[in-house]
Amino acid sequence: MRIYPLSIRLITLSLSLVMFTGLTACSSDFDTMKARMDAIRAKPRGRVEPPPEFTPMPTFTYAAHQLRSPFIPPSTLEEFLARSTGKIVAPDFSRPQEYLEKFGIEALRMRGTLTKEGSPLFGLVEDSEGGVQRVKVGNYMGKNHGKIVEITPSQINLVEVVPDGRDGWVERPRSLVMADK
């Protein structure tokens, strides 16, 4: 196929016309955009409102720390606490600490129980170092002077002596529940 010089000129002219039209359209859009930007810059600057004043909420004092936890079934734990009401509560700092008192209750896991004919139930407690200790009612464990008051096949109930926040001490029931693993 042979291209004639006239058709080459016609194609060149057409392309030139399209490019000129495109550039003209861009310049009119640019002028419109520039006019809008100038109008925005001419407006007075806005003022940011200061944040509202917030009044502090009154603090809430939890006063049910001596009540039985709803997650612990009624047991001898309630009896022990009922017997201890009316007396001054304080930990006995003169007694020697037992091995499980160097661990927090959260680090201890109940692993099982042992029974011996004619003797009470013993609990098996695993510490955070992997050792398993045998405990009985009256033993202490946990960093808050927790005294074991009951051992059942599924849990160990104890009463901790913790500061009450007013230079005194209160008793708080806790439980170790049988671990799954």
pLDDT in tens, 16-31: 777 766 666 555 677 8
pLDDT band at 74 (very low <50, low <70, confident <90, very high): low
Predicted local confidence at residue 43, as pLDDT: 86
The 10 Å Cβ neighbour count of residue 175 is 19
pTM for the model: 0.53
Predicted local confidence at residue 28, as pLDDT: 64
Supply the mean pLDDT for the chain. 82
Contact indicator for 177, 110 with CB cutoff of 8 Å: yes
CA distances from 57 to 9, 33, 54, 60 (A): 84, 51, 9, 9
Predicted local confidence at residue 155, as pLDDT: 92
